[in-house]
């Protein structure tokens, strides 16, 4: 039986973002679906399918372009599921809507950034009262928890909207975990290594002599270091997240680390979209210099990224990367 939303709930809200044009950035992000390292979603799908029954309402928090939602709803076991995707990116949410068009099991809510208050809306502010009254049976957060500036507030929102006995299925590759396979990368930490290798390559080679001068400009390089750490946030320890779950009232059911193979070419394709965040100092980032880098600078940035990746991965075609998976229960 198809999932039954509360009677006054509109899965697709009549809001500007839902009628907007599809955006290139979201489409580019969505190509990760084809990447081997995006197998990181498969254990999350299995965990949810094996623990949740029919008429489950899953909150896909930070559901992005809806990749997890589609993988989950493609499974026959989830026929009676409802999924509410909540995300702070209107562009990603718009693409999620496109991909699940006509699938009445999926609802969408946008978290807006309140400029004057300098904060994102809370879950309470974006999800309808009828859903709060019902409660959700489960929450998924994949590849996103490391991005939450307001971790405690977010955990509190999850705890409050979950029904007693409900489970949050949370995973991210950007968590320091002492249990990880030896030699496995934290995927975003490759960026810092790419940056350092690119500086070495520029120093060593006349081909890049034009870019050598900035390397000794501390202010310029420091400003680009700060920019990089905004695109790719500093990695936190697994204990940091476990403490936050427990502080919000959750019982940690499990914490598991898994490892995936990532193709260097796939990871390059992904990072190349964010070339300004990775190697913005090559040509200068708009936010820092006030002017966009030239086409030539961008070509050089990408070339350096490829060369640096060749160097840090010793010319291999793939690398191992670890992901941490949590299951947290709201006690009955
Ligand atoms: C790397 S994407 C992952 C998307 C999806 N869960 C997946 O696994 O494909 C991270 C998502 O988190 C969202 N996000 C970032 N900060 C957020 C926040 N504070 N609250 C809710 N969503 C957030 C972004 O808009 C983006 O869609």
State the closest ligand 1 atom to the C-alpha of 148, by its place in the atom list counted from 1. Answer: 19
Would the pLDDT of 139 be above 90?
yes
pLDDT in tens, 253-303: 999 999 999 999 999 999 999 999 999 999 999 999 999 999 999 999 999
Neighbours of 26 (CB within 10 A): 19
Rounded to two decimals, the pTM is 0.96
The alpha carbons of the chain give a radius of gyration, in whole angstroms, of 21
Residue from 71, 83, 88, 124 whose mutation best tests the ligand 1 pocket (most atoms within 8 A of CB): 88
Ligand 1 within 6 A of CB of 69: no
- In degrees, rounded to 5, the angle at the alpha carbon of residue 232 between the alpha carbons of residues 231 and 238 is 145
243 CB-contact burial (10 Å; exposed 0-12 / middle 13-18 / buried 19+) = middle
pLDDT in tens, 150-201: 999 999 999 999 999 999 999 999 999 999 999 999 999 999 999 999 999 9
- In degrees, rounded to 5, the angle at the alpha carbon of residue 156 between the alpha carbons of residues 103 and 2 is 20
Instruction: Return the axis-axis angle of helices 190-204 and 295-312, rounded to nearest 10°.
Output: 110
Residue nearest to atom 10 of ligand 1 (CA): 144
Task: Check residue 2 and give its pLDDT.
Answer: 87
Please state, for a pLDDT cut of 70, what percent of the chain lies above it.
100
Ligand 1 within 6 A of CB of 284: no
Alpha-carbon gap, residue 278 to 307, rounded angstroms? 13
Alpha-carbon gap, residue 330 to 328, rounded angstroms? 7
Beta bridge partners of 327: 169, 254
Classified as helix, coil or strand, 101 is coil
Ligand 1 within 6 A of CB of 142: yes
Alpha-carbon gap, residue 159 to 330, rounded angstroms? 7
Q: How confident is the model at residue 1 (pLDDT cuts 50, 70, 90)?
A: confident
């Amino acid at each position: 039986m198809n999932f039954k939303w509360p009677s006054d709930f509109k899965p697709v809200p009549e809001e500007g973002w839902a009628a907007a044009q599809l955006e290139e950035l979201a489409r580019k992000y969505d190509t990760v679906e084809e990447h081997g390292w995006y197998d990181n979603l498969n254990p999350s799908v299995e965990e949810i399918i094996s623990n949740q029954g029919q008429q489950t309402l899953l909150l896909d928090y930070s559901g992005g372009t809806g990749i997890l939602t589609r993988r989950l709803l493609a499974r026959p076991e989830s026929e009676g599921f409802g999924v509410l995707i909540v995300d702070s990116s209107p562009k990603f949410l718009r693409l999620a809507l496109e991909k699940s068009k006509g699938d009445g099991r999926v609802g969408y809510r946008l978290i807006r950034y309140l400029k004057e208050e300098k904060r994102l809306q809370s879950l309470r502010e974006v999800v309808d009262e009828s859903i709060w009254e019902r409660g959700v049976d489960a929450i998924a957060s994949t590849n996103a928890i490391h991005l939450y500036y307001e971790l405690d507030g977010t955990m509190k929102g999850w705890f409050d909207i979950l029904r007693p006995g409900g489970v949050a299925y949370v995973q991210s590759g950007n968590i320091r975990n002492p249990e990880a396979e030896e030699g496995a990368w934290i995927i975003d930490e490759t960026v810092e290594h790419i940056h350092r290798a690119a500086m070495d390559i520029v120093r060593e080679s006349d081909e890049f002599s034009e870019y050598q001068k900035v390397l000794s400009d501390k202010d310029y390089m420091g400003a680009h270091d700060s920019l990089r750490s905004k695109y790719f946030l500093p990695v936190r320890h697994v204990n940091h997240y476990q403490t936050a779950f427990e502080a919000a009232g959750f019982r940690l059911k499990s914490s598991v680390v898994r490892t995936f193979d990532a193709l260097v070419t796939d990871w390059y394709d992904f990072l190349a979209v964010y070339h300004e965040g990775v190697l913005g100092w090559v040509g200068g980032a708009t936010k820092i210099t006030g002017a966009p880098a030239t086409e030539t600078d961008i070509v050089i940035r990408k070339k350096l990224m490829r060369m640096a990746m060749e160097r840090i991965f010793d010319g291999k075609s793939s690398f191992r990367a670890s992901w941490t998976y949590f299951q947290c229960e709201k006690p009955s």
